[in-house]
A and B are shown apart, each in its own frame.
Chain A
Amino acid sequence: MGVSTAPLARSRYAVLARTRGEARATGWLDRHFAFATVSPTVLVSLLVFGLPLAFSLWISLQGWSIQQSLFGSRFVGLQNYSDLFDDPAFVASIGRTFLYTAITVSCELGIGLGLALLLNLDLPFIGIFRTALIVPMMMTPIVAALCWKMLLDPQYGVIDYIIGAPIVWLGHPVLAFVAVAAVNIWQNAPYVGILLLAGLRSLPSEPVEAASIDGAGRWQVFRHVTLPLLRPYIVVALLLRTIFEFRSFDNVYVMTSGGPADATSLLSVYTYVTSFVSFDMSLAAASSWMMLLMALVMCLAFVVMIRRRDAN
């Protein structure tokens, strides 16, 4: 981090300010520069993020409904949380979310690693392929979901035409889960690919060359040299994708609305339906706080990893 020059700059300024005699006019901003520039961001973040989360924690301990005034409800302690864990739909959605996250993230990592290795080859026109991969990953999730919905249509969809059987993908619990996961993998594996490609390209070339000279085969070089060197990037991809798949909502909701028979009702879908379809705001607040706590664990793992790396 390039912060080490600050004290030096400050002492230089002190001299200048005294000679120019305008220390008081501009001095305050300079002495409190960090405070003056950082506090607006802190204030805005607390207002748009901190305050709502605190309010959410508050209503999760209340029997609050949207018709009531903000503080006109009754304190019920942890009743909402115990209701939540008594709801089989919620408990099932936790397991489903973990399964979904595990499947999508591991497929994205596997496919992404393959993509990265392929795109790292030194071939003419490889740049075109690298650029093209951006398309699915940046595509509006709703549009991606709609595209796939049309492709998977049992009557006029091209996928069932290719397979040659009218499979009702989104009408069958297991198939719908697979389809929804596949669309997410399709959208995000390129991201992992591009991230790992950036990693591959930043690796020093000497270890690979040394290993090849020592007579290691391609697979051995990959397994014992490239992969260990790439590990930090793989960990970043793993954590980031886990954090973002855990909160998946858009394409799942548009493709299936959580159905059929709750088969694709992930935690975010459960929370959405509880709050904005059944309007049980207190229960939804409790459920979103459970999600927050789970996500927080993953975020902290990510932060710890980055800080440890920056310290080295």
Chain B
Amino acid sequence: MQVSGLTPRQRLCGRIVAYAALVALLLVFLMPLLWVIGLSLKTRPQIFTNPPLLIWWPTFENYARVLTQGEFVTAFFNSLVVSAGAVLVSLAVGVPTAYAFARVRFRGSSFIFFSLLVMRMLPPIAVLVPLYALFNKAGLVNTRSALVIAYTTFSLPLIVWIMRGFFEDLPAELEEAARVDGATRGGAFLRVMLPLARPGLATAAILSLLLAWNDFLFAAVLSSNRTRTLPVLLASYAGADTGVDWGSIAASGVLVVLPVILFSFAVQRHLVTGLSSGAVK
């Protein structure tokens, strides 16, 4: 909002107020994480000082301890395998569907499409209760496959929704040209549209990877000590009241969040579209 008729002095004052507000907001929204990063770089006595220590020589002993602990590495591996598995399955199944939604008119398309949206939005606990019962009978509880299946319930609709948007934005002429040159619909999709949609694929994959990585509820119920993911491991630290190890909690929390933040920055332009289920472009 640019309102004319302000003197330079008024404009300067306005800017100072605006920056002050922005910095205050930044502090509110980033301080908790920065403080915990600080905790992760303190020794145990330094963490439990009162008043809190503000200047200290950082130590990496918490990170060393966490990373040499077998359980963190195992959970990291589990998180990675399970999230990637769900995303790969969802990409393979969902991307051709998204293309059909964007380019082909067929009966029931809008019903199926909105059912997928609803599937993404219904409370996960409601599907977890029966999934647990069914997995229990099928002997799948405590396996990584159970989590891959569970995560597909949200990554598949997410990927279909995001990719439909990307395919719609690609120029239809390219595809028509391929068809005129004799390509089949499948061929035009595989050889022309799919390579063009590569940025979209990366966005959809990263976003659903992040959602799977961040999940706690499904993993808390469907995994054992051997197959648990990082959020479940972290929650177990918090539950143990005897000698709560803040250094380890902080260090492993930072290690869990760091890749999330880096990947989020990579897809930041598409975050809103992706997370609003296509309601905002």
Chain A residues engaging chain B, CB cutoff 8 angstroms: 1-3, 5-9, 12-13, 16, 20, 26, 29-30, 33-38, 40-42, 44-45, 48-49, 51-53, 55-56, 59, 64, 66, 69-70, 115, 118-123, 126, 129, 131-136, 138-151, 155-156, 158, 161, 186, 190-191, 194-195, 198-199, 208, 212, 218, 221-222, 226, 233, 236, 240, 243-244, 246-247, 249-250, 253-254, 267-268, 271-272, 275-276, 281, 284-285, 288-289, 291-292, 295-296, 298-300, 302-303, 306-307
Complexed CA–CA distance, A253 and B234 (Å) = 13
Least CB distance, B81 to chain A, in whole angstroms? 17
Complexed CA–CA distance, A167 and B50 (Å) = 15
Task: Give 19 pairs: A residue, B residue, CB < 8 Å, sorted on A.
Answer: A1-B168, A2-B103, A7-B105, A9-B176, A9-B179, A41-B94, A121-B1, A142-B216, A146-B234, A150-B246, A151-B32, A151-B36, A156-B47, A156-B50, A161-B50, A199-B280, A247-B123, A267-B123, A307-B114
Q: Among A69, A254, A281, point to the contact of B216 (Cβ < 8 A).
A: A254
**B153 lies within 8 A of A123 (CB):** no
**B51 lies within 8 A of A161 (CB):** yes
Complexed CA–CA distance, A123 and B101 (Å) = 40
- Using A139-B261, A140-B213 as known contacts, say yes or no to A292 and B234 having CB atoms under 8 A apart: no
Q: Among B39, B121, B275, point to the contact of A243 (Cβ < 8 A).
A: B121
Q: Among B21, B97, B180, B276, point to the contact of A40 (Cβ < 8 A).
A: B97
- Using A135-B29, A151-B35, A303-B118 as known contacts, say yes or no to A34 and B238 having CB atoms under 8 A apart: no
**A16 lies within 8 A of B180 (CB):** yes
Does B277 touch A at the CB level, under 8 Å? Answer: yes
- Using A29-B185, A38-B112, A303-B114 as known contacts, say yes or no to A134 and B265 having CB atoms under 8 A apart: yes
Does B73 touch A at the CB level, under 8 Å? Answer: no
Least CB distance, A109 to chain B, in whole angstroms? 14
Q: Among B1, B121, B175, B253, point to the contact of A302 (Cβ < 8 A).
A: B121
Complexed CA–CA distance, A5 and B185 (Å) = 13
How big is the B interface, by class? 35 or more
Chain A residue numbers with a CB within 8 Å of B125 are 247, 249, 268, 271-272, 288, 291
Complexed CA–CA distance, A35 and B105 (Å) = 11
Least CB distance, A302 to chain B, in whole angstroms? 7
**B130 lies within 8 A of A48 (CB):** no
Complexed CA–CA distance, A29 and B187 (Å) = 10
**B133 lies within 8 A of A48 (CB):** no
Chain B residue numbers with a CB within 8 Å of A158 are 35, 52
**B35 lies within 8 A of A66 (CB):** no
**B153 lies within 8 A of A49 (CB):** yes
- Using A12-B180, A41-B94, A143-B234 as known contacts, say yes or no to A129 and B133 having CB atoms under 8 A apart: no
Least CB distance, A7 to chain B, in whole angstroms? 8
**B152 lies within 8 A of A48 (CB):** yes
Chain B residue numbers with a CB within 8 Å of A129 are 22, 25-26
The 6 residue pairs across chains A and B that have the minimum distance between CB atoms: A247-B123, A56-B130, A37-B96, A288-B126, A34-B106, A52-B130
Complexed CA–CA distance, A156 and B52 (Å) = 8
Q: Among A20, A56, A118, A226, point to the contact of B126 (Cβ < 8 A).
A: A56
- Using A38-B106, A55-B130 as known contacts, say yes or no to A247 and B279 having CB atoms under 8 A apart: no
Chain B residue numbers with a CB within 8 Å of A288 are 123, 125-126, 129
Chain A residue numbers with a CB within 8 Å of B253 are 140, 143, 146-147
Q: Among B19, B116, B132, B176, point to the contact of A276 (Cβ < 8 A).
A: B132
Complexed CA–CA distance, A254 and B89 (Å) = 30
Chain B residue numbers with a CB within 8 Å of A146 are 36, 234-235, 237-238, 249, 253
Does B119 touch A at the CB level, under 8 Å? Answer: yes
Does B257 touch A at the CB level, under 8 Å? Answer: yes
Complexed CA–CA distance, A146 and B249 (Å) = 8
**A149 lies within 8 A of B238 (CB):** yes
**A142 lies within 8 A of B234 (CB):** yes
Complexed CA–CA distance, A144 and B99 (Å) = 36
**A9 lies within 8 A of B36 (CB):** no
Complexed CA–CA distance, A59 and B131 (Å) = 12
**A123 lies within 8 A of B19 (CB):** yes
Complexed CA–CA distance, A233 and B37 (Å) = 35
Chain A residue numbers with a CB within 8 Å of B105 are 3, 6-7
Least CB distance, A34 to chain B, in whole angstroms? 4
Q: What is the chain B residue whose CB lies nearest that of A310?
A: B110
Least CB distance, A45 to chain B, in whole angstroms? 6
Does B192 touch A at the CB level, under 8 Å? Answer: no
Q: Among B3, B182, B265, point to the contact of A218 (Cβ < 8 A).
A: B3
Chain A residue numbers with a CB within 8 Å of B114 are 303, 307
Complexed CA–CA distance, A289 and B122 (Å) = 11
Q: Among B110, B130, B256, B261, point to the contact of A285 (Cβ < 8 A).
A: B130
Complexed CA–CA distance, A30 and B188 (Å) = 11
Does B260 touch A at the CB level, under 8 Å? Answer: yes
Least CB distance, A51 to chain B, in whole angstroms? 8
